[in-house]
Amino acid sequence: MATVAEMREKLRRPLAAELAAGCGDRVVAGGVERLLASPLAGPFPGVREVLRGYAELDGVARAEALGRALELLDGQEKAAKAPRPARTIKQAVPAAAPGERLPPDAEVGRLDTGPGGARKLQSLGLHTLRDVLHAYPHRHEDRRALPDLDAVEEGLKVTVEGRVTSKSRRTPKPGMLILEVTLETPAGGRVRASWFNQPWIERQLKEGARLVLTGRVKKFGRSVQLAVEHLETVEDAKGSLSTGRIVGVYDSKDGISQEFLRKAAHRTLQAVPLDDYLPAHWRRKYRVTDLGDALWGIHFPADEEQLSRANHRLRFDEYLFLELRMLLQGEDAVLQGKRFQATGSDISTFEDALPFRFTNAQRRVLLEITDDMRAERQMARLVQGDVGSGKTAVAACALYLAVRDGYQGALMAPTEILARQHFENLVGYMAKLDVRVGYLVGAMTPKAKLEMQTRIAEGEVDVVVGTQALIQENVRFDNLGLAVVDEEHRFGVMQRRKLLAGRPDVLVMSATPIPRSLALTAYGDLELSIIDELPPGRTPVETKLIQDTHRQQAYGFVMRQIREGRQAFVVTALIEENENLELLAATQLADDLRVILPEARIELLHGKMSAAEKEHIMERFRSRAFDILVSTTVIEVGVDVPNASVMVIENAERFGLSQLHQLRGRVGRGSAQSYCLLIAGEHSKKTRQRLKIIEGSTDGFVIAEADLKLRGPGEIRGTRQSGVPDLRLGDLANDTEIIEQARELAKHILAHDPKLEHPRLQYLKGELQSRSHSVAFREVI
């Protein structure tokens, strides 16, 4: 027997769907009244009452009745969940009288949006009037009435105005009703408009009535037909927000109509004074329109020009706030740094000691770096390049140059495993060059740590590789000249600042391929160098997408590779936002594999292990002590196991494309053929489309662009607090110019007024604070 709550839900869903589908009484099998007659509606006599005679009602009355029914159902649910306190303590805030002005921070409840209006807005995440103002339509529909449809192509959605000259009503089959009218347009053309099974429309279809209709065009020879989606009379259409104009289409959900959202936006625009936070001279300089024009224009554009002005201004603002946020959080703008010689002969010496020659891309980036190193100001450069593109080798060269000029260098990695690997690489590169390389991580014994700290302080090591242990209190460099930070996005801004205290030049390495326009924004003040070429001789990894129903075959393939002496990674996604569950899933997977592949030696690596345990397992894997490393995503960055030739990714659909690309980069480091098997559980079309991108490309930048298009930019840098682009209109792939202008203005503003204290900037500051999601950030200004 179903509980009342279950019954309520079973009743609520079809009713909400019916409302969303336009009240045609077609959603519920057998009709709404049949549903109400069922035992399901038994516990809800009030709902039965308001929906009585539903089939006979016209569209408007149906919508109202459904709205009330849903309110009743929701109301009961609330009452059941949270018993009302005997006395309400909070005083109701009076709704704004028409014509009253409200501040943008006012709650939506202050706005008169009809019964339940505030609740609907809140359910869409819109709590203040500012939220409503900035909840822009996700698209616009041109519903300006055309004089005629003769020239219009079949399949387009258009709006037309005209007078009803004839009308018919047919029931070709029982239960099917077709209403049809012929409309004479102002230009004298004829359009046939039809409605299927919408009897309540009939009332409005009188001969001589003047209507504005929106629908899709069908053409039969010379006759033009319109399948109508929206109808208003010419009188109603006069002040209408929903027809006769370019109308916005908003993000919504079941039971919240576009008409309602348009009305809410309209009321808000009328109630809130749209004082511009950008002074007029800046608006002129950057050729952006004023805020009022922009906000009205995005919600209710008078024409295409206003819409495009609005779009431009609001995008500009998004980037401006983003840049201001980045700059306010980041380091001070331009500082004096170290000045190196970085001679050409030192570069040659370094390269000659390598077992390979630099690629052209590495050479170009090295030139960009040495230009910075030779300059007076502090270098702040991001070197971006795909996994294995040779960033570390370039950074090692820069470190060598710093050492040759008498400075110390540091390389900080996000994990101990990575620090270890960098350390070994650097020792390899510099062994012949008489450079003393040190190592400092948290897991060392206190004695070993102290010893290393002393050597660092006394200048007895030239380059130190380590983790965050490098920036702890008791680490003092004798003469730090260059700091290299790997995978910067894993470190907080504060940590970065500590490393910068001695004003060394700074090089950041990131393997996350970020499209240029986004990198500029996400990394604020860092200059960007890109290594866009892999060293020669790498065989691209062969990638295959596999349904989880074919897992056996995938692991059969893994076993064949193992028999040939190779090793395999098996990575599983974070299934829940919960480390324990993740660990459980990985453990389970390892156990399953031990059953499926009894011959293979299998071990597990997960995030709950101590750094030393992880290190130990990685070391054993590298030395081929076992065949398959089952792991949670902890191995995502950087680890080198040259003998591993297969990367299996379970639940591949749960990863972002860039993340998959990173994981795949763990294999294929040598010249032997390597493989990546993506096992996907879920197989929606969109998932397949996404994973196909990885299957088809090994170019990190292509993948990152595609990922950006499919996922939106917010997820690239991870968290909100790091000033992630929170863009509604911005299109990073195409906005480079606006981004640069916004940066210029942001820099200009802060150069003159670093804390935004000038009275003229108070609006701007207020807007910046209220649009910022991060509490920590609000404290910065």
Interface contacts to Mg ion, rule CB under 5 A: 392, 638
Q: Which is nearer to Mg ion, 240 or 392 (CB)?
A: 392
**Residue 429 beta carbon to ligand ADP: minimum distance, rounded to whole angstroms:** 8
Taking CB within 5 to 8 Å according to partner kind, which of Mg ion, ligand ADP, none is near residue 362? ligand ADP
Q: Which is nearer to Mg ion, 392 or 512 (by Cβ)?
A: 392
Is the sign of the CA dihedral 526, 527, 533, 534 positive or negative?
Answer: negative
Q: By C-beta, is 261 or 618 nearer to Mg ion? A: 618
Question: Identity (one letter) of the amino acid at 391?
Answer: K
Q: Which does 356 bind (CB under 5 to 8 A by kind): Mg ion, ligand ADP, none?
A: ligand ADP
List residues bridging with 527 in a β-sheet.
Answer: 381
Contact (CB, 8 A) for 629 and 568: yes
C-alpha dihedral sign at 69, 72, 78, 80:
negative
Partner from Mg ion, ligand ADP, none contacting 72, C-beta within 5 to 8 A by type: none
* Minimum distance from residue 630 beta carbon to ligand ADP (Å): 24
From the list ligand ADP, Mg ion, none, partner contacted by residue 358 (C-beta under 5 to 8 A by kind): ligand ADP
Distance CA 121, CA 357 (A): 61
Q: Cβ of residue 572: shortest distance to ligand ADP, in angstroms? A: 24
Residue 421 binding target from Mg ion, ligand ADP, none, CB below 5 to 8 Å by type: none
Strands of 375-489, DSSP E: 380-385, 408-412, 437-440, 463-466, 480-486
Alpha carbon distance 275, 51 (integer Å): 46
Of the CA atoms within 13 Å of residue 717, those in its CB half-sphere come to 22
What is the β-pairing status of strands 675-680 and 505-510? Answer: unpaired
Find the shortest distance in angstroms from Cβ 649 to ligand ADP.
19
Tallying the residues shown for the chain, one arrives at 781
The residue (of 278 and 387) whose beta carbon lies closer to ligand ADP is: 387
Quick one: 359 or 453, whose CB is closer to ligand ADP?
A: 359
Residue 655 near which of Mg ion, ligand ADP, none (CB within 5-8 Å, type-dependent)? none
Query: In angstroms, what is the minimal distance from the CB of 505 to ligand ADP?
Result: 19
The values of phi and psi at residue 551, to 5°, are: -55, -40
To the nearest whole angstrom, how small is the minimum distance from the Cβ of residue 614 to ligand ADP?
A: 19
Which parts of this chain interact with ligand ADP (CB under 6 A)? Answer: 356, 358-359, 362, 385, 387-393, 511, 535
Nearer to ligand ADP, 426 or 571 (CB): 426
Q: What is the DSSP letter of 633?
A: G
Residue 766, binding choice from Mg ion, ligand ADP, none, Cβ under 5 to 8 Å by partner class = none
From the CB of 382, what's the least distance to Mg ion, in Å?
A: 14
Q: What does each C-alpha distance from 271 to 51, 121, 265 come to in angstroms?
A: 35, 16, 10
Strands 408-412 and 480-486: parallel
Q: Which does 674 bind (CB under 5 to 8 A by kind): ligand ADP, Mg ion, none?
A: none
Query: CB-wise, 638 or 725, nearer to Mg ion?
Result: 638
Distance CA(461)–CA(456), nearest Å, equals: 6
The one of ligand ADP, Mg ion, none whose footprint includes residue 393, by CB under 5 to 8 A per kind, is ligand ADP
C-beta of 365: minimal distance to ligand ADP in Å?
Answer: 11
Please give the helix or strand (H or E) that residue 547 lies within, else none.
Answer: strand 542-547
**Residue 660 interacting entry, from ligand ADP, Mg ion, none, C-beta within 5 to 8 Å by type:** none
Closest approach, Cβ 389 to ligand ADP, in A, equals 4
Quick one: what does residue 535 bind among ligand ADP, Mg ion, none, with the CB cut-off 5 to 8 Å set by partner type? ligand ADP
Asked whether 512 and 365 are in contact (CB, 8 A), the reply is no
Rounded Cα–Cα distance for residues 52 and 65 (Å): 9
User: Smallest gap, in angstroms, from Cβ of residue 142 to ligand ADP?
Assistant: 49
Q: Side-chain half-sphere of 626: how many Cα atoms within 13 Å?
A: 19
**Residue number, 362 or 645, with CB nearest to ligand ADP:** 362
Of 392 and 722, which CB lies nearer to ligand ADP in the complex structure?
392
Regarding beta strands 527-531 and 380-385, do their DSSP bridges make them parallel or antiparallel, or are they unpaired?
Answer: parallel
Closest residue (Cβ) to Mg ion? 392
Which of Mg ion, ligand ADP, none lies near 388, with the C-beta cut-off 5 to 8 A by kind? ligand ADP
Token pair belonging to 367: 């030139």
What does each C-alpha distance from 774 to 124, 159, 579, 596, 722 come to in angstroms?
20, 44, 25, 48, 9
Q: How far is the CB of 512 from Mg ion (least distance, A)?
A: 12
Smaller CB separation from Mg ion, 130 or 666: 666
HEC assignment per residue over 476-508: CCCCEEEEEEECHHHCCHHHHHHHCCCCCEEEE
CA dist 339 and 336 (Å) reads 9
Q: Which residue lies nearer to ligand ADP by CB, 15 or 660?
A: 660
Q: Which is nearer to ligand ADP, 358 or 477 (CB)?
A: 358
Amino acid at 359: T
Kindly provide the b/e burial profile for residues 731-764, where b requires at least 16 CB atoms within 10 angstroms of the residue's own CB: ebeebeebbebbbebbbebbeeeeebeeeebeeb
Nearest to 388, CA basis, from 53, 661, 717: 661
Tokens in use for 414?
A: 């996000």
**How near is the Cβ of 637 to Mg ion at its closest, in Å?**
8
Residues 139 and 306: their CA atoms lie apart, in Å, by 15
Smallest separation, CB 669 to ligand ADP (Å): 6
Nearer to ligand ADP, 389 or 567 (CB): 389
Q: Which does 185 bind (CB under 5 to 8 A by kind): ligand ADP, Mg ion, none?
A: none
